[in-house]
Structure 1
């Protein structure tokens, strides 16, 4: 496990923006007191990180490299049609998340049941993943598969809101970058182990599952559900239930929560406008990052001729690269601030994506090299984005603001799928979709650059 001991670095200045009636001093004091530990406890961090490890069952196996590749195969319909239907299903899921995530996050704060809702949403995802076993390779089962993937995305995002909100409970302001990077890295490493099990156990037939009716993939969904269910348990036992400032706010009804959310956003705009701009910028570039994962396996198979087994082998290598880079860059996040990490990662992603596009005729070696380069930058961008926001959230509003973080991301979740589809339509070939994803990343970078580097101003 990465060393989480406190580094010998200057203390941060309490230069946080005021938000929702909370002073900067209150925010910093709460961050190192009631909202989180005075020092980083490795046992707690490990338990928290194991949720990320288990979540690879949904991120890597379901949405990226196995089930969606299975669902967009020829057994379910003609090429191009099933990919588009997958995009529309995910767009519908994104709309639900955009409408509900900030309110569900807010209500988990005020109810003092953040961990409870993490558990509920996690195990709904576990059940939906297990239900994917019933999706047989036939066009009549396509909509069942799409429904399960879309619903899984909704509840996974709700779980992620509460999980991200726990970041301030398990870290300190001086270790938050490394703790966040450790969590993301655990997710990638967990993906490696689970993908190895899926590849050798089911694709290569080590476990003796018959290679008919899609059984290798379908049984892998059962194993993935068990995997997530088991590794989600430690955080539920080790991390105390949230009892901070947010739990002391007056509880209101569901629809009244939207009115409260509107007032809080208006106050945020008045008092911490660059936080709002960051939410908008991150929404765009995070959708580009999601596009890299959502369409990565599909492109590997349809453009570069990867077999299902080769897609999984690439996925394992990709997770190794992403996991190592994310854990390593966490220390730079703490020392340099999150914004430089995000900017550098986005530039690296844009360059790597363009290489995939312009060199696609070079065959699989191009996807292996440039595709792995993409993975080198995805994790650090995701982790640093989370820590940028976590450092400036006022105490007691973690669930609400991370819900808003999810909402802004999902509010534009149509961007990457839409741009992917538009460029494929214009270019007449699937590899043109890469340009659509690159464009989304470039727009996100352009929106991020004017945002003040609040993280740098936190340091003395």
Structure 2
């Protein structure tokens, strides 16, 4: 009973942070910057890139610190509160550049919180049910999309897109509380002494990098993760902009599109968890990345709203499955005594995946004479990252599945 409460409380954090992701990164902030404030897509791209690159290099260090002290929750709570604070402040400012600065800080807190949330997965679940527990968290995350859109939309309809920012911060806090209250740190077997300090942590990270051959497939997976997340992060950042400018979706139509797609994402995340436990997480992840390639092609050739709406369920299923399989695969192959550090590198490979957004911004800017066609070309450019990631992922050994 206690384990079920912990898993549910842990998954509630996925629900909570998705409220931030859907309302800020995907929907209202992107349109507030590019439509309400008249900013170019490249401004949003570069801001996100700077924020996530800074986070990416900090995560392995902080992850190693958390290993040394066997602590996850203080970092999770602290970074989440940073995100909540600056998300709320976004609702009070009136200039483009201040908005971009506050967003960069809020996003950094959000991204850092996720890595400590991910670290808790192998501590609250067993080797044989990583996929199902991960799938539960992802499914709750997509329920968070429903809840976040439904709760925040009335504020945006009445006060405009910026009016969505403060309610998003408040709901993020409220739905995070079960995780803060009921999930506890557990002793991590193999953690080193606390006395070594920062120099010892630097040595620990250096040893992990120099001894990468001891961890079969780990660094290949991180490189593949870096590549395919370039495509996925870009999709989530600019889907509302693409829908608004290319497909002529109104905010209400975008809202319905996200609700429609999210139902399939929630179902896909649960089903993919069971599939991963049945056929293996690597095979599941490879199939998912293949579906992403098909999705990008379909988006680029969609010339009416009806076709774009049909793509929604496919993109939802692939998105949910990607998070489930990626997190479960890493939980399988990460050494127990280095989980925090390895999940930090997992965050590094994911949060440094900002080549895609910068490429998108550059394509849209440089091909401006082509009009709306430039957005379709930008979508097709994401295939490069997906195909390269899939090629490297093929060389990652499939981890053995527990029979217990």
* Structure 1 length-normalised TM: 0.82
| Residues 40 and 170, structure 1, Cα contact 8 Å, conserved in 2 | no
Aligned residue for 2:99, secondary structure, equals helix
Map of 2:78 onto structure 1:
120
- Picking from 42, 59, 63, the partner of 2:21 is 59
Map of 1:183 onto structure 2:
137
The question of 1:129 aligning with 2:118 is answered no
The question of 1:377 aligning with 2:325 is answered no
The question of 1:403 aligning with 2:344 is answered yes
Residue 157 of structure 1, CA deviation: 1.5
Gaps of at least 5 residues in structure 1 are 1-38, 210-214
Aligned residue for 2:334, secondary structure, equals coil
The question of 1:416 aligning with 2:369 is answered no
Aligned residue for 1:402, secondary structure, equals helix
Map of 1:447 onto structure 2:
392
1:426–1:219: structure 2 CA closer, same or farther, 3 Å change rule? closer
- Picking from 98, 102, 119, the partner of 2:56 is 98
Map of 1:45 onto structure 2:
7
1:40–1:327: structure 2 CA closer, same or farther, 3 Å change rule? farther
Q: Which moved more, 1:242-251 or 1:160-169?
A: 242-251
Aligned residue for 1:232, secondary structure, equals helix
1:40–1:173: structure 2 CA closer, same or farther, 3 Å change rule? farther
1:86–1:355: structure 2 CA closer, same or farther, 3 Å change rule? same
| Residues 109 and 246, structure 1, Cα contact 8 Å, conserved in 2 | no
The question of 1:76 aligning with 2:76 is answered no
CA distance in 2 between counterparts of 1:405 and 1:71 reads 29
Q: Deviation digits for residues 307-360 of structure 1, max 9, x if unmatched?
A: 12221221111221111111121111111111111111111111121011123x
CA distance in 1 between counterparts of 2:204 and 2:258 reads 43
Map of 2:335 onto structure 1:
394
Aligned residue for 2:196, secondary structure, equals coil
Aligned residue for 1:432, secondary structure, equals helix
The question of 1:275 aligning with 2:215 is answered no
Higher Cα radius of gyration? 1
| Residues 76 and 142, structure 1, Cα contact 8 Å, conserved in 2 | yes
1:296–1:40: structure 2 CA closer, same or farther, 3 Å change rule? farther
Residue 256 of structure 1, CA deviation: 4.5
Map of 1:161 onto structure 2:
115
| Residues 66 and 312, structure 1, Cα contact 8 Å, conserved in 2 | no
Q: Deviation digits for residues 173-229 of structure 1, max 9, x if unmatched?
A: 111101101101111111111102223x2344xxxx4xxxxx333332111111111
Q: Deviation digits for residues 420-455 of structure 1, max 9, x if unmatched?
A: 234433483222211122221122111111222124
Aligned residue for 2:108, secondary structure, equals helix
- Picking from 149, 155, 163, the partner of 1:202 is 155
CA distance in 2 between counterparts of 1:281 and 1:455 reads 20
The alignment's C-alpha RMSD in Å is 2.0
| Residues 286 and 382, structure 1, Cα contact 8 Å, conserved in 2 | no
Q: Deviation digits for residues 210-262 of structure 1, max 9, x if unmatched?
A: xxxxx333332111111111111111221222322254434433355233201
Q: Deviation digits for residues 401-425 of structure 1, max 9, x if unmatched?
A: 11111112233x2321133234433
Map of 2:127 onto structure 1:
173
CA distance in 2 between counterparts of 1:55 and 1:225 reads 10
Map of 2:198 onto structure 1:
254
Relative to its length, the structure with more helix (as a share) is 2
Map of 2:273 onto structure 1:
330
| Residues 301 and 376, structure 2, Cα contact 8 Å, conserved in 1 | no
CA distance in 2 between counterparts of 1:181 and 1:422 reads 35
Map of 1:193 onto structure 2:
147
Residue 43 of structure 1, CA deviation: 1.1
Map of 1:212 onto structure 2:
none
Residue 400 of structure 1, CA deviation: 1.1
- Picking from 239, 244, 247, the partner of 2:183 is 239
Residue 103 of structure 1, CA deviation: 0.6
CA distance in 2 between counterparts of 1:100 and 1:301 reads 35
CA distance in 1 between counterparts of 2:137 and 2:318 reads 16
Map of 1:357 onto structure 2:
300
Q: Which moved more, 1:417-426 or 1:349-358?
A: 417-426
CA distance in 2 between counterparts of 1:46 and 1:142 reads 39
Gaps of at least 5 residues in structure 2 are none
The question of 1:266 aligning with 2:210 is answered yes
CA distance in 2 between counterparts of 1:368 and 1:254 reads 51
CA distance in 1 between counterparts of 2:227 and 2:199 reads 28
* Structure 2 length-normalised TM: 0.93
CA distance in 2 between counterparts of 1:258 and 1:288 reads 31
